[in-house]
Amino acid sequence: MLTILGFVMIATFLVLIMAKKMSPIAALVLIPALFCVLVGQGAHLGEYVLDGVGDLAPTAAMLMFAIIYFGVMIDVGLFDPIVRGILRFCRADPLRIVMGTALLAAIVSLDGDGSTTFMITVSALLPLYRRLGMSVVVLTGVAATANGVMNTLPWGGPTARAATALHVDAGDIFVPMIPALAVGLLCVLVLSYALGLRERRRLGLLSAAGVSGAGASGAGADERDERGHAADAGSDAGAGSAAGAETVLVGAGAEARAGAGRVSLSKARTGGGDGGVPSSAGSGSAAHPGTEGDAAPSGPAAGGAAVLDPNRSTLRPGLYWFNAALTVALLALLITQLLPIPVLFLLGAAVALTVNFRDMADQKARIAAHSENVLNVAGMVFAAAVFTGVLTGTGMVDEMARTVVGAIPDALGPHMAVVTAILSIPFTYLMSNDGFYFGIVPILSEAGAAHGVSSLEIARASLVGQPLHMSSPLVPAVYVLVGMAKVEFGEHTRFTIKWAVLTSLTVLGAGLLFGIM
């Protein structure tokens, strides 16, 4: 009976969140609470939830302070020179532009946010694609696949969910996976080179003069002055709007001969790294992406200062090298695991806020600017404590695992990590990360444990499908991508799916080669 109820609980959870009848947070809390009562263990619900919360508190802390840290780094201008440098590298060469797309998407993905990555990448490079007559679907496909590989960072969605669902440390999942993920990123760069070479052969090398002063998409964007009054920026200024964010591409000067110029845009941020719950860049209202692939998302822009505007008040050019050194040191400590990841990001966020914003009011403003995203992510983690706590405490997961183990041929049992990796490719495309990591991965982990496969191996294997996941119709961030680029969702899917699957299989092959799974 527990087996049947367990599968029914998971199925109910998946159906409700896929049909958008309930938010993931509400479904993670209410569905298991209901089933806990149905199995006759309602009196123990509080005990199960508190056990789950205790296990997941470090993961929640890591996500909260990682979001604040990278949000502050974007605010103070750490990534601005990188964006401008990539734009200068691109020139008017289709090959360079496509490779620049992969590089920019990968670098901006460091903040663990899909929508942010797509908004910056598209706003910066779409003018070049349009003016040169390049295939815009190449832009969307490369950006989505690069972001999918980088989406596996510990403060991104899937790794945090895997750690949460299996009660393991996110660093223990991620650090051994770095070589395989590096090979996956290399695969994306090789792919972008091949696609860029194809575009160069089709179009040839164009004069940079023909690209100068490119506009983003011809659509107007809202620019707000310091008093918050909206002013219309015309298409000649290169403005394009999407996902309720204010995007402005300033015409190029002589410095950027490719005509890309400097980018300034406000960014909507999403929780969990895979674009799960779009929210504003500041403390304003959330931006909700559309449900149709060809419809540009719309909504009110938030009034935050997390922008790539060269004149924004949060810039700290005098502290650039300090912030760069702090970030490099933080990432180095993360890889060497000298301290737990939550402690590293807690210390990093405190140092970044204190050094960059001496005034207490400014520090509060920066925390408030990113508070909605923090709340969404922390809420998801603690809501997951109810789901995993009930699933484990009632014994449902054990019974379900026995059923799955019985259905797996003995010959495949010792290879459950590979089975999980292969299943992650279609599963993470056909369902949300919440559904896969909280509903499916724990069962696969229990089945693997029966054959001597550790939870860590299963967790690492579950990340293999992420390059394809970022093009799933269940990921709101992908609608930001195709909406800004004005690409039909079906066209994006047809182009991207084969390359994303190839990248996922490359990560799997590298994982097996390096003995990671």
CA distance 263 to 339: 36
CA distance 283 to 374: 11
CA distance 66 to 156: 9
pLDDT confidence of residue 216: 35
Tell me what percent of the residues of the chain surpass a pLDDT of 70: 77
Cβ 71 vs Cβ 306: under 8 Å: yes
Highest mean pLDDT among 1-15, 43-57, 318-332: 318-332
496 vs 397, which has greater pLDDT?
496
CA angle 439, 160, 17 (to 5 degrees): 40
Closest C-alpha to 273, from 174, 183, 339: 174
Q: How many CB atoms lie within 10 A of CB 231?
A: 9
CA distance 158 to 11: 20
pLDDT bin (cut points 50, 70, 90) of residue 196 is: very high
Q: Are strands 230-233 and 263-265 parallel, antiparallel or unpaired?
A: unpaired
Highest mean pLDDT among 212-221, 234-243, 363-372: 363-372
H or E element in which residue 270 lies = strand 269-271
Closest C-alpha to 162, from 338, 361, 374, 420: 420
Cβ 476 vs Cβ 289: under 8 Å: yes
pLDDT confidence of residue 214: 37
Tokens of 153: 């960072």
pLDDT confidence of residue 297: 33
Tokens of 294: 């060809």
pLDDT bin (cut points 50, 70, 90) of residue 459 is: very high
Q: What does each C-alpha distance from 224 to 11, 284, 296, 302, 369 come to in angstroms? A: 46, 14, 21, 10, 16
CA distance 62 to 160: 9
pLDDT bin (cut points 50, 70, 90) of residue 458 is: very high
Q: Point out the least confidently predicted range of 26-30, 299-303, 422-426.
A: 299-303
413 has a pLDDT exceeding 80 = no
pLDDT confidence of residue 211: 43
Tell me what percent of the residues of the chain surpass a pLDDT of 90: 26
Q: Point out the least confidently predicted range of 156-160, 192-196, 222-226.
A: 222-226
Give the burial class of 517: count Cβ atoms within 10 A of its Cβ; 0-12 exposed, 13-18 middle, 19 or more buried. buried
CA distance 140 to 127: 14
pLDDT bin (cut points 50, 70, 90) of residue 474 is: low
> pLDDT tens across 151-181, in order?
898 877 788 889 888 888 888 899 899 999 9
302 vs 465, which has greater pLDDT?
465
Q: Point out the least confidently predicted range of 25-39, 150-164, 198-212.
A: 198-212
pTM of the model: 0.61
pLDDT bin (cut points 50, 70, 90) of residue 308 is: low
pLDDT confidence of residue 389: 83
Cβ 196 vs Cβ 92: under 8 Å: no
> pLDDT tens across 67-77, in order?
788 888 878 98
Q: Look up tokens 């990590």; give the residue.
A: 417
509 has a pLDDT exceeding 90 = yes
184 has a pLDDT exceeding 50 = yes
- Cβ-Cβ contacts under 8 Å for 248 (sequence gap 6 or more): 221, 223, 233, 237, 238, 239, 263, 264, 265, 309
The stretch 409-425 carries a mean pLDDT of 87
Tokens of 217: 């998409």
Cβ 505 vs Cβ 167: under 8 Å: no
Cβ 129 vs Cβ 97: under 8 Å: yes
Q: What does each C-alpha distance from 410 to 154, 406, 414, 450 come to in angstroms? A: 33, 9, 8, 11
> pLDDT tens across 83-139, in order?
778 778 887 789 999 999 999 999 888 766 676 678 778 877 888 888 888 999 999
pLDDT confidence of residue 18: 63
pLDDT confidence of residue 279: 32
Q: What does each C-alpha distance from 210 to 70, 127, 130, 339, 435 come to in angstroms? A: 36, 12, 11, 52, 48
204 vs 268, which has greater pLDDT?
204
Cβ 372 vs Cβ 286: under 8 Å: yes
Give the burial class of 101: count Cβ atoms within 10 A of its Cβ; 0-12 exposed, 13-18 middle, 19 or more buried. buried
The stretch 225-234 carries a mean pLDDT of 33
Q: Look up tokens 């002055």; give the residue.
A: 225
Cβ 5 vs Cβ 400: under 8 Å: no
pLDDT bin (cut points 50, 70, 90) of residue 512 is: very high
- The values of phi and psi at residue 308, to 5°, are -105, 35
92 vs 247, which has greater pLDDT?
92
Q: What does each C-alpha distance from 421 to 184, 371, 418, 445, 471 come to in angstroms? A: 14, 34, 5, 12, 18
pLDDT confidence of residue 222: 33
Tokens of 270: 């999403």
> pLDDT tens across 248-307, in order?
333 333 333 333 333 333 333 333 344 333 333 333 333 333 333 333 333 322 333 334
Sign of the dihedral through C-alpha 425, 431, 433, 435: negative
Per-residue H/E/C for 202-216: HHCCCCHHHCCCCCC
314 vs 402, which has greater pLDDT?
314
Closest C-alpha to 373, from 267, 232, 220: 267
Sign of the dihedral through C-alpha 44, 46, 51, 56: positive
Tokens of 156: 């991104």
Cβ 447 vs Cβ 401: under 8 Å: yes
